[in-house]
Amino acid sequence: MPTYLYKITPVRSGFADSPTDAEIEAMSQHFSYLKRLLAEGTLFLAGPCTDAAFGIVIFDAGSLEEAQTITAADPAVVAGVVSVELHEFRISLIRNLISTRVPNE
């Protein structure tokens, strides 16, 4: 199954420092949407830059059209508080997030 990445970027300067009530609500719904995709097994990872310049979402979809539908349904995109770029993405390397190291005694 193909993997896709979408990048979201706030459309308003000051978004991170002084979000409006509508932006806060849209981002809350965005987070709930991503949690649902994670629970469904669609989402691989998601998160924002710590400087709030942009966020990324990496997920699986059966086709580009399905990926576009998933992206377009994101509440932050629907609300128009972020712009979005969608790209097919190939994960070439990944760190094992489950530690197999034995803690020092």
CATH number at residue 24: 3.30.70.1060
Q: Are 80 and 25 in contact (CB under 8 A)?
A: no
* Domain hosting residue 37, numbered range: 3-89
* 76 within a domain of the structure (yes/no): yes
pLDDT tens for the chain, residues 1 to 105: 899 999 999 999 988 899 999 999 999 999 999 999 999 999 999 999 998 899 999 999 999 999 999 999 999 999 999 999 999 999 998 887 665 555 554
Separate counts of helices (H) and strands (E) for the chain: 3, 4
* 68 within a domain of the structure (yes/no): yes
Structural domains in the chain (count):
1
